[in-house]
Amino acid sequence: MEVYNSKKYTFGIWIVAIFMILLIGFRGNVGADYPIYRTMYSIYFPTIDYSELIDKILFRKSNLEVEWMYVMLNKIVFSFGGPFQSFTLVSAIITIGIKMRVYYQNSVYPIFTVLLFFIPGFFIADSGHMRQALGMTMCLLSYQFIKERKIWWFLLCLYVAYGFHKSAIIFLPAYWLVLIPMNSSRIFYAIMISVILSPFQVYNLFSSFLGSLNLQDVSNGYNGYIGYEDKASSFMDGTMILNSFLLIAYDRLACKKILYYEYMRNIVVLGICLYFIFRDNPVFSTRLVGVYIGFACIIIPNIIGSLKLNMKRLWHLFFVCFMVFYYFVFAQFQGNAGRFTPERYTNFLWGN
């Protein structure tokens, strides 16, 4: 209805948002790091003094290993006496609520955008790696200030994002990146150079900085995904090639019809380039570039929205079928590792 009627359904997107919040807000033992975060919520985080958080906020020397904003949010929720599900609910409201707002403001077809976000982002990040999901969400929120060229508000968003997960600092160049003039030829050359650089592992030149971003979570939960990501790398390659084709083939048309298309296009192009450069490192190529690739679910519907009716219908049908196919790929590789399967998923609203 949204695509064929070219109309935004405000009520519909918030119904979808509420359902998604309930799915992950009241989940039980679902997600790679759920058990250790649940333990830290009630045992470790309450023992941390607020003075330690202040030291962390001001970049003073501190023994606190977990990012300060994430700890503070845990402590605030815990102070009301609720169980861990109170925190997962608050986290879900923040991440899903902000994403829906950004999608509605920046996508021609926001519900179509949610479909593209659903797998794998919703399951791996929002349902699992909550620290990084909160950080990436704040980076997504900062896009509004990138468009408005309000650098201090952008830096504030990025600072809060960094307080949730250090990897958010990788998004800092985005404020200036969006102003770089690009066209189909430049996009093609940038991606091809990145593909050529892929086998040389040039990211090792920055290994000390990248290692400091704490991409691994607080437990070994994420390690369960690594092998699956490696096996699915050819699928991810195909996804990136598909995104690259859309960016190159329809760049001029989308630039004419979609407001601020150039900004989100530059962000996604850098994400694709970083993916191929980091390809030999399954952690870097999935989690480090996620904040940039996350804009793909916005830009794809915008590209499709700029096309003529018949071509629009063709690409829309293709991506709906693609996401159904992606569901089975995700279930095969990561679904069981994250306990998302029907046999292992539990929710406190309707029992085991």
* Closest among 118, 95, 88, 77 to 28, alpha carbons compared: 88
Quick one: DSSP state of residue 107? Answer: -
Cα(108)–Cα(254) distance, integer angstroms:
11
Average model confidence (pLDDT) across the chain:
88
Structure confidence by residue, pLDDT tens digits, 69-82:
999 999 999 999 88
Whose tokens are 């399967």? That residue is: 341
For residue 350, what pLDDT band results from cuts at 50, 70 and 90? confident
Calculate the dihedral angle through the C-alpha atoms of 6, 8, 293, 242, rounding to the nearest 10 degrees.
-20
Strand partners, 347: 27, 351
Cα(138)–Cα(117) distance, integer angstroms:
16
Structure confidence by residue, pLDDT tens digits, 273-312:
999 988 877 777 677 888 999 999 999 999 999 999 899 9
Confidence at residue 225, expressed as pLDDT on a 0 to 100 scale? 47
- State the average pLDDT over residues 109-138: 91
> How many separate helices (H) and strands (E) can be counted in the chain?
20, 0
Which H or E run contains 139?
A: helix 130-148
Confidence at residue 352, expressed as pLDDT on a 0 to 100 scale? 55
Answer whether residue 50 shows pLDDT above 70: yes
Structure confidence by residue, pLDDT tens digits, 259-284:
999 999 999 999 999 999 888 777 77
For residue 222, what pLDDT band results from cuts at 50, 70 and 90? very low
Share of the chain above pLDDT 90, in %: 56
Quick one: DSSP state of residue 122? Answer: I
Cα(193)–Cα(215) distance, integer angstroms:
26
Burial 303-324 (b: 16+ CB within 10 A, else e): bbbbbeeeebeebbeebeeeee
Residue 241 has a CB neighbour count (10 Å cut-off) of 13
Cα(92)–Cα(347) distance, integer angstroms:
14
Q: Where are the beta strands (DSSP E) in the chain?
A: none
- State the average pLDDT over residues 188-214: 79
Cα(282)–Cα(280) distance, integer angstroms:
6
* Closest among 248, 42, 271, 236 to 124, alpha carbons compared: 236
Judge contact between 319 and 109, C-beta under 8 A: no
Judge contact between 272 and 279, C-beta under 8 A: no
Cα(114)–Cα(298) distance, integer angstroms:
9
Cα(283)–Cα(31) distance, integer angstroms:
17
Cα(294)–Cα(270) distance, integer angstroms:
12
Answer whether residue 233 shows pLDDT above 70: no
Length of the chain: 352
Q: Which residues contact 61 (CB under 8 A, 6 or more apart)?
A: 55
The answer to which of 135-149, 169-183, 188-202, 227-241 has the lowest mean pLDDT is: 227-241
Confidence at residue 216, expressed as pLDDT on a 0 to 100 scale? 54
- State the average pLDDT over residues 225-236: 56
Answer whether residue 45 shows pLDDT above 50: yes
- State the average pLDDT over residues 23-29: 92
Structure pTM?
A: 0.91
Confidence at residue 248, expressed as pLDDT on a 0 to 100 scale? 97
The residue that leads in pLDDT, 34 or 174, is 174
Rg (CA), the chain: 20
Cα(137)–Cα(126) distance, integer angstroms:
9
Answer whether residue 60 shows pLDDT above 90: no
Structure confidence by residue, pLDDT tens digits, 107-120:
999 999 999 999 88
Give residue 195's identity as a one-letter amino acid code: V
Confidence at residue 186, expressed as pLDDT on a 0 to 100 scale? 96
For residue 226, what pLDDT band results from cuts at 50, 70 and 90? very low
* Closest among 220, 200, 253 to 36, alpha carbons compared: 220
Q: Where are the beta strands (DSSP E) in 149-300?
A: none
Calculate the dihedral angle through the C-alpha atoms of 306, 105, 261, 320, rounding to the nearest 10 degrees.
-50
